Structure 1
Amino acid sequence: MIQINKYWEDLNVLQVNRQAPRAYYIPYADEQSAKSGRRGQSPYYQTLNGNWKFQYHRTVHDVVEPFYEEDADVSAWDELIVPSCWQVKGYDQLHYTNLNYPFPCDPPYVPEDNPAGLYVREFNVSKPMPGKERYIVFEGVNACFYFWVNGKFAGYSQGSRMPAEFEVSSLLREGKNRVAVMVLKWCDGSYLEDQDLWRYSGIFRDVYLLERDATHVRDVWNKQTFQDGFRKAALAAEIETTGRLEIRAELKDAQGTIVGSIQEIVDGKGTLQFELKDPVLWNAEKPYLYRLYVHSGGEVLQFPVGFKQVAIEAGVFKVNGQAVKLKGVNRHDSHPELGQTIPVKHMIKDLILMKKHNINTIRTSHYPSDSRFMELCNEYGFYVIDEADLECHGIGSAGDFQDGVFHKLSRDPAWQAAFVDRAVRMVERDKNHPCVVMWSLGNESGYGANHIAMAEWVRSRETSIPIHYEGAAPHYEGSSQVDCLDLESRMYASVQQIEAYARDENQKKPLFLCEYSHAMGNGPGDLFDYWEVIYRYPKLMGGCVWEWSDHGIQTQTEDGTPFYAYGGDFGDTPNDGNFCIDGLVTPDRKPHTGLLELKKIIAPIRIEEENLPIGEIKVTNLYDFIDLSHIGVFWKLEEDGRMIHQGQLESIKAGPHSSQIVSLPYLVPEAASGHYVLTLSCWLKEETVWAEAGHEITFEQFEWTAGLKNEPEPEVMPKGTTSVQAEQKGQLLMVEGFDFAHVFNLQDGTLQRLSRHGVEMLAAPAQFSIWRAPTDNDMHVKEKWLEEGYDRALMKVYQCGWEQTQDGAIEIRSRFSIGAVSRFTILRGEACWKVNRNGAVDLLVTTKIQNERQFPYLPRFGLRLSMPQGMEEVEYSGFGPHESYIDKRQSVRRGRFLTTVDEMFENYIMPQENGARYGTQWAVVSNEQGMGLQFSAPGGFSFHASHFTPEDLTKAAHTWELAKRKETIVHLDYKMSGVGSNSCGPELAEAYRLSEKEFQFELKLKPVFKEDE
């Protein structure tokens, strides 16, 4: 190995020659360029991004040649784009693990086979002006690196996701220069970077050269204070210089008007004081930014200034004196092709999607985001929980979380400097960003003196922002009162637990759910319940859903079929499988239905009924700082599915946290008789930076019946029909009428054939079904389901007979049970099938769960049909247009929908139950000519049509493994259990389980030709 100091396993060395951390900025030559914020417009900025020569070594011990020397021949090396993660470029092992270290746990030591990536870049430097200095900045390198300039050692740094800046003036020369970097995959800092993510390596954020005046402004910290209820504000710009310097600072408002100007001499440290009357305050709803321009020598620095106060008063989290609910998500740096290298346009795409879905808060899980992401949060308007690059989850895992092993590093004084260093670099870099409302001391790292030291440093340096750390919660420490932290935080606490906290008068701090409602796969299904409680109690300040995006890696099968890969797909061990596929959006940022659910539930407008028949509704403004004058409302009133009135409202002006009674100009006559549905859609009147005019913020629907409930329309009987003819042939019962021919299998106790005018409607016998393809959130209860054989349950028919009724129908009755081989019978039931004269089949099922065992709740219960090829068209009346479940249905609206079987499929990366429609009134599955089956139930039903059986979905681990069936598989369920968020969150709530011991289900199946109906 080349002769270098082994800093990567030395806890006493976190850096060599690295500059002290400072606030983020780029020096510009003039104010106009500084205002643009575009780095390339600065003559003092030179990017070092681009193609670098690259050589990968399986172990650092294989690096024997001094590649960093000026004359080292690297011409035969590969080329690698910087910034990038070398794993997504074909080097090393793509590896996903959640909490386990991917190496033996022996802190501070890492494997001897420690991969190394060697980088070499040649670049030109102009002749330096007299009195200038030059700095190289690495904004993110994972996990540690050594670097050389023109053959001379320049520095070392670790701590992957924060900038490392080095002064290199004496090492550079006019003309061609060479920088060489050796990046190691592991270092002792890797024990503090055990986040739930793909383990990437390399120079993954930008690298650039800065030219500075020899005497320059090194750091700026903009502190704010308020008086007279925010009517007066003072901005203290604390300036640190490298020597005596004349400084001119101008504070400008959003229109560019100067609101304060100061010129002073600063020698080392000084403070420039600005005072404003009636400042426009910054908040996520109205992110008003002033700009501070600091002129010194030939440089101009620009800083965003958002006048904002964060405070906790009487257990309530407040921004600018107003109680605020944090409606957030956890966001990793994640790109399906680039890994943790995130282009600015991709950042903007994320933020626009979040704004469009009513999200106002981002937790930077579990490390600080790129500085430009923070700048965008300032501008778009987000509250940010800025989290230190600290997680040592694997310490607990290595010892099975017993005997306090989880606290091993957090309580070891030898690691204290490394812990504190991560807080220092985060706070110093981000202290001027208005978006920051909390400092977080990291994630899932136990709790001890080292966290306390972090908090004490932060509080000694910065007092205006609350400090958060969930790891100090009672389930780790045994006490809910941790003095160095300003709030309580929980992960995946149940609704009952957070309500108990809110009602406990001994709990004085606000409660923040830093992670809740695990959005893995088909989920989450518990958002509504959480927010019902969060809004009810001031002490509950909101939370962040886990998480924003699926972390799938774009790849392809051997035959070229593209798919998103997860843990284990690259032979990586240990791995946590598809646990990285747990977001509200797909890797390429297509919203899952869970995001639509979140949007509806956290919407900033609530509409409630006041007096619907006369058009009175109550509108409540849940915004914290703005009124509703920017919102338009379109409404329509439908009577028995026919629109009878519509209009628009322009006069809603309810202020923040206030309500307004609104009258809609419609009138339902007193003598009216019918079913009414009122739909209201709230939309933006004007275009914003994140949405077009007309973008829907939220909607609401109300239903009511006026007068006597309409009697159901009588069944239309075919001409010439008198009665149904039946003939038994062995175990088959042939049932025929005027235009239909059905067959019932008396031995199997089920329908075998349904046809009308000779068109066959079934491709296989109907059967009762209790199994669904487990969702990700079923992962724990699934084991109980499998143990009881729910996935392989069979029907046993004890008795089946038939008779002709007095009204000319045929009635078939059976007694049956459902159970699995080697297990007790799960349920017993009776079924009555009645074939009416018009060919419709009425089904009445009565079931009873057996008491031989305490059976887990059922995934579903209903009738499963297989319809022939070509039955592709789906029309239904119920909730849509997308999937819905008993606990995931706030984002759907009642209506009549026309779709296809393919369009009902929700394509989750891990195949699972999907596409159901809760609360369906009736549905028709037919061919394109309208020939098919109509289904209806008096109490509604859960409806599902797919080209995959539950068994197909259960078996497949990726969507490419699914083989689409020609038949259409239809499920007509009495009830489908909810989806919840139990992959990481609490168990599915009792109210959403199919756990009834006895129940009855009525269903009607009718062959139809829609065009003739």
Structure 2
Amino acid sequence: MTYYEDPGPGYGALPPRAAVRSDAPRLSLNGTWRFHLADSVAEAPDGFERADYDDSGWDRLTVPSSWPMHGFGRPAYTNIPYPFPVDPPFVPDENPTGDHRVEFDLPEAWRDLPAVLRFDGVDSCARVWLNGTELGVVRGSRLPSEFDVSAWLRPGRNLLAVRVHQWSSGSYLEDQDMWWLPGIFRDVTLIARPVGGVEDVFAHAGYDHHTGAGTLLVDSVPGARVRIPELGVETEAGQPVTIPGVEPWSAELPRLYDAVVATAAETVELRIGFRTVAIEDGVLTVNGRRILFHGVNRHEHDPVLGRVVPEYRLRQELLIMKQHNINAIRTSHYPPDSRMLALCDELGFWVMDECDYETHGFQPLGWRGNPSDDPRFEEASLDRMRRLVERDKNHPCVVMWSLGNEAGTGRNLDAMAAWTRHRDPSRPVHYEGDPTCAAVDVYSRMYASHAEVDAIGRRAEEPLPDPVLDARRRAMPFVLCEYSHAGGNGPGGLPEYEELFHRYPRCQGGFVWEWMEHGISRPDGGYAYGGDFGEELHNGTYVLDGLVFPDLTPQPVLAEVRKVFEPVHLKVDPAAGVLQVMNRYDFLDTSHLVLQWALGDDGVAVARGRLAMPVLPAGAEATVELPKQALDLPGRFGERWLTVRAVLTADHQWAPAGHEVAFAQAQVAFAQALPAQVTPSRSGVRTESGALVVGPGRFDPRTGRLTRLREWDIEHVPLELWRAPTQHDARTWDATTLDRKTRWAAAGLHRLRYRTVSVETGDGGLIVATLVGPAAIDAAALATYRWTSEGDRLTADVEVEPVGNWTVPWARIGVTLGLPAGFRDLTWFGLGPAQAYPDARAAARVGRFTRSIDELQVPYLYPQENGARADVRWAKLSGPAGLVRLSADPVLALTVRSWTTADLAAADRPADLAPGPNVWLTLDAAQHGLGSPTSGAPILPPYDLQPRHHRFTFTLG
């Protein structure tokens, strides 16, 4: 057995310890290294670790790096399957092997200083030599390793050589849903370890919410002194201290105290947050209060650098999260860069810190041979958990340890849990993969439906066969470690989950899947996904499943998340003349917020002002009297809407003053009747040049379709029942159920045919009946238009009636009009400014908005249905071609594109979409919800568009 196939954790590394800031000398070895890539171990050069080896012909590579991102080999993406034969602990001979060499000068001041060489992350197995002497072998890619190099360092020139194998026994424990990207991808550092220094430190900092006192016990080397100057604390390590009147740490009030732990030889700096995590009466608490996770799952990814994430980007990610009311992170599915946890301490996040552990590829095999239950992998499993806990134990943001993800069940997971609970009883242990929860402290599920969450909230979930285990699990707090799978347009149903979290104390929120899309930058400016690098096995667009694009630009769903996660709930009650304010923060009062209101008539602001925000403690609620001018201002002839926003009163480190934290809207006046005026008479139907004419509209006398509106030629599709499938339409969690895309395709919704039943005149207008249906089935829909005109306006009253036996829901009920391409901008009064869909519209607000047609599109990395503006009352389409007005009675959804729905559905990436000779308007009376079938949550009944009668009206002019 080769060293890289040995199922153990490796050899030669020192015991793990905390990541700390120290005044001991450090020497970064990051930079340009010599690099050679071999397709297999057999082709890797012998003796490359020797000083006399000639590497002049080698390439140069920046370290840290993922070498496929620099043209060496290729990235590969899989979600579940291993991209090699499943034969643990063995890996194929075709094992890409990257040899790295760097020379560095040791400063004279380091002479005779003990030192360690630290690797913060190497994927997946590394063998290390210093000055020709082997130091050891490490596995556990996202975990640090240190080697004692005291005996091998020398003054002046030194040579470090590292051989990295893409595949190893460790790869069986690292089957996370992400790109396979080998390399030395985190920092490489030489760290002096002075004799008598601070070898390790563990700060136990608790908070007694009854007395307001902090408790502190710092475990470190004998004789180390602990100082917290701000609190006047000076004590010896190992001595417990009670400190009255401390300010506790929480994700909302991330109060940190600077501390030092020092010996005569070394000083270590810590940032201490006093907080106590507990489970009380089946509820997870921090500092005595129930907390609610408004979280995301976060992978580490950079679209250019791969696994390497620069520090500025780490901060940028967290700032965007804070600005969108996200308060928690699950580090899926491995420990992140330790600098990220320091930022979480500072900015304030609850963190579920997860071990670098997943064996998902054994699931399709019925979990046969799963390393989680293989005694050969026991020490490697424990080693990974030890390295996680020891590295991150001093971070107050970490409130839960997670054993890993989707690794089945087994003795090794049980051993990891037992060791963790013994080492750090102050934090609960999490793992979702064992439904019995026998070894953990919280009940966790991924992708439970709303109905299942409701049952769990009532502690009425399906019982376990073992009554003792069932009673134990039923008494646990519940967390959705993954839910509401993002990816393209969606998910829907977020508000309904949030309502359950607030209804049931046991249900303590969860972590949306996932934060970022893992697209890889392409030379053409686009992004690559699975299959773009010639992978034998890949999971395609499944890697595109985030709330933000790879460059961290928010997707529309992030606004939905921000609205649903609002920590202050506002509700305008015009009838009572009050604003209801509910403080949903866990700890924070509302003194940092102010209320701003604005009044709009048909989307035009007519008044605005400020309201005093009542200072409410967490969990409290109150009513605020609305300003009379907002309710009594003399009106215009239109809809009047009152918008109230809760915004920051001052700058915060994560957002400037004026940043919106929450908003609410209500209609305070309805459209008034216009003053009496002469109503244009109906123009009736006449014949001109072989066409039927109704007001400004011309119609084909045979099909009854609109062919011209005023001076513009029109292409008229009388009825649409299909949409360009979303990523959620194309997926299903249940292997026994066909996805919507497949069902719609089988039913032929994308290939409807039209048969004109009748074209008649009557009641001063044109009546057209069209039977619409796909080939090969006997189900259809009858679309009946009643066209009338008054003045220069053309009105269509449309009825849609299903015919026959439909076995699939419809994707939409809409009408499409093709206009000339000379229209460029849309102004509308309705929901905006971004897109809105039936089950994903919480973030939209009623107003008047203007966007170019290009701006209306959402450039999803995999093209799909997007860009609908909902509840549109009226709109204007303008450009060099002129001005078209349209209105709805009462409202319709409106989509405007420079390409057809078929073009959109056929595209594989945004660059495939090119403007054509038309601008296409689709007016939807209804559209199917987005849902989140990827995550097993069935579409909620109100958003399931089953075939049924619909009637809608629109006017063109």
* TM category, shorter: over 0.9
Mapped pair 1:841 → 2:794: yes
2:304 paired residue among 337, 343, 359: 337
Q: Is the 8 A contact 2:719 2:783 kept in 1?
A: no
Residues 106-146 of structure 1: CA deviation (Å, up to 9, x unaligned): 11110111110000000001235676201100000000010
* Bigger mean CA offset, 182-191 vs 633-642: 633-642
Deviations 1:952-1004 (A, max 9, x none): 11000111111222421000111111212223341222211221422222222
- The equivalent residue for 2:118 is 137
Q: Provide closer, same or farther for how the CA distance between residues 510 and 382 of structure 1 changes in structure 2, counting only shifts above 3 A.
A: same
State the match for 1:39 in structure 2.
none
2:746 is matched with 787
Question: Contact 2:484–2:494 at 8 Å: present in 1 too?
Answer: yes
Which segment drifts farther, 987-996 or 460-469? Answer: 987-996
Cα distance 1:249–1:725, how it changes in 2: closer, same or farther (>3 A)? closer
Q: What amino acid is aligned across from residue 314 of structure 2 in structure 1?
A: M
Task: Determine the structure 1 residue equivalent to 2:402.
Answer: 440
Matches within 5 A, 1:727-742: 727=687, 732-735=690-693, 737=695, 740=696, 742=697
| 1:664 maps onto 2:626 in alignment | yes
Cα pair 2:604 2:848 within 8 Å, conserved: no
Quick one: distance in 2 between partners of 1:824 and 1:679? 49
- How many Å separate the matches in 2 of 1:899 and 1:736? 31
Deviation at 1:770, TM superposition (A): 1.4
CA gap 1:463/1:287 in 2 versus in 1, 3 angstroms: same
State whether residues 18 and 391 of structure 2, in contact with CA within 8 Å, keep that contact through their aligned partners in structure 1: yes
Shift of 1:408: 2.6
Which amino acid is the alignment partner of residue 20 of structure 2?
Y
CA distance in 2, matches of 1:639, 1:68: 75
Aligned to 1:279: 246
2:848 is matched with 896
Deviations 1:669-703 (A, max 9, x none): 59989743110111111111111111111211011
SS of 1:816's equivalent in the other structure is strand
Match of 1:958 among 883, 888, 909: 909
Q: 1:927-966, aligned counterparts within 5 Å?
A: 927-928=879-880, 931-966=882-917
Q: Deviations over 1:795-846 (max 9, x none)?
A: 111222224x4xxx4x222322211122223322322222x14132222222
TM-score by length of 2: 0.95
Aligned to 1:601: 564
Equivalent residue number for residue 250 of structure 1 = 227
Deviation at 1:50, TM superposition (A): 0.1
Q: Could you tell me how far apart the structure 2 residues matched to 1:926 and 1:228 are?
A: 61
Higher mean displacement: 314-323 or 355-364: 314-323
Relative to 1, partners in 2 of residues 1:842 and 1:520: Cα closer, same or farther, differing over 3 Å? same
The Cα of 1:262 is off from its aligned counterpart by 2.1
Identify the range of structure 1 (213-222 vs 303-312) with the bigger mean alpha-carbon deviation: 213-222
Partners of 1:175 and 1:584 in 2: CA distance:
49
Partner of residue 36, structure 1: none
CA distance in 2, matches of 1:417, 1:787: 51
Partner of 2:777: 823
Query: Pairwise CA RMSD of aligned residues?
Result: 2.0
1:992 partnered with 2:956: no
CA contact (8 A) 1:486 1:509 kept: yes
The residue that corresponds to 1:159 in the other structure is 140
| Structure-1-length-normalised TM-score | 0.90
Provide the residue aligned with 2:79 in structure 1.
98
**Which residue among 715, 736, 739 is the counterpart of 1:764?**
715
- 1:655-734 mapped onto 2 (5 Å cutoff): 655-667=617-629, 668-669=631-632, 675-705=639-669, 710-711=672-673, 723-724=683-684, 726-727=686-687, 732-734=690-692
CA distance in 1, matches of 2:529, 2:686: 56
One-letter code aligned to 2:687: E
Structure-2 separation of matches of 1:299 and 1:713: 84
Structure 2 residue 257 is the aligned partner of structure 1 residue 290:
yes
SS at match of 1:591: coil
Structure 1 gap segments, 5+ residues each: 30-43, 264-269, 474-478, 1008-1013
- Calculate percent identity across the aligned residue pairs: 36
Structure 2 CA distance for aligned equivalents of residues 724 and 817 of structure 1: 25
Q: Which amino acid aligns with 1:115?
A: P
SS in 2 for 1:776: coil
Q: Does 1:626 align with 2:588?
A: yes
Matches within 5 A, 1:843-858: 843-852=796-805, 854-858=806-810
Which stretches of structure 1, 4 residues or longer, exceed 6 Å deviation after superposition? 670-674, 713-718
Equivalent AA in structure 2 for residue 431 of structure 1: K
Q: Pairwise mapping of residues 73-222 of structure 1 onto structure 2 (< 5 A)?
A: 73-127=54-108, 132-222=113-203
Q: Quick check: 1:520 aligned with 2:520?
A: no
- What secondary structure, in the 3-state scheme, does the structure 1 residue paired with 2:21 have? coil
Q: Secondary structure at the match of 1:599?
A: helix
Relative distance call for 1:410 and 1:813 in structure 2 (3 A) is same
Query: Structure 1 residues 228 and 53, CA, compared in 2 at 3 Å: closer, same or farther?
Result: closer
Q: Is contact 1:213–1:297 with CA below 8 Å preserved after alignment?
A: no
Give the AA of the match of 1:697: V
SS of the residue aligned with 1:359?
coil
1:412 corresponding residue in structure 2: 374
Q: Separation in 2 of the partners of 1:568 and 1:675?
A: 51
Which residue type is aligned with residue 683 of structure 1? V
Letter in 2 for 1:987: P
CA offset at residue 641 of structure 1? 4.7
Cα 1:875–1:456 shift into 2, 3 Å: same
Q: 1:614 to 1:234 in 2, by over 3 A?
A: closer
| Partner in structure 1 of residue 542 of structure 2 | 579
Show the 5 A alignment for 1:350-369: 350-369=317-336
2: CA distance, partners of 1:51 / 1:843 = 68
In structure 2, distance between residues paired with 1:374 and 1:89: 28
Q: Deviations over 1:28-86 (max 9, x none)?
A: 05xxxxxxxxxxxxxx1000000000000000111242000111111221110000000
The aligned counterpart of 2:835 is 883
The corresponding residue for 2:876 is 924
How far apart are 1:643 and its partner, in Å? 4.1
| Whole-angstrom CA distance in 1 between matches of 2:706 and 2:861 | 35
**From 373, 389, 393, the counterpart of 2:360:** 393
SS, match of residue 169 in structure 1: coil
CA distance in 2, matches of 1:232, 1:197: 44
Contact 1:517 1:985 in 2 (8 A): no
Alignment match, 1:259: 232
Note the C-alpha offset of 1:212: 1.4
Which residue in the other structure is 1:8 paired with?
A: 4
Letter in 2 for 1:850: V
Per-residue deviation, 1:549: 0.5
**For 2:211 and 2:550, how far apart are their aligned partners in 1?**
42
- Post-superposition shift, 1:210? 0.5
CA distance in 2, matches of 1:840, 1:624: 55
Distance across 2 between alignment mates of 1:671 and 1:682: 26
Which stretch of structure 1 is more off in the superposition, 977-986 or 779-788? 977-986
Could you tell me whether the CA contact under 8 Å between 2:568 and 2:582 is conserved in 1?
A: yes
The change in CA–CA distance for 1:54 and 1:360 in structure 2 (over 3 A counts) is same
CA 64–904 in structure 1, closer or farther in 2 if over 3 Å, else same: closer
Instruction: Report the CA distance shift for 1:763/1:713 in structure 2 as closer, same or farther (over 3 A).
Output: farther
Q: Compared with structure 1, are the counterparts of its residues 172 and 641 closer, same or farther at alpha carbon in structure 2 (3 Å cutoff)? A: closer
1:397-476 → structure 2 map (5 Å cutoff): 397=364, 399=365, 402=366, 404-405=367-368, 408-473=370-435
**Equivalent position amino acid for 2:530 in 1:** G
Residue 273 of structure 1: how far off its partner (Å): 2.7
Q: How many residues align?
A: 935
- Give the match for residue 51 of structure 2: 70
Question: CA–CA distance in 2 between the matches of 1:677 and 1:981?
Answer: 32
Report if aligned partners of 2:335, 2:388 keep a CA contact under 8 Å in 1: yes
- Cα gap change, 1:131 to 1:429, in 2 (>3 Å): same
Counterpart in the other structure of 2:266: 299
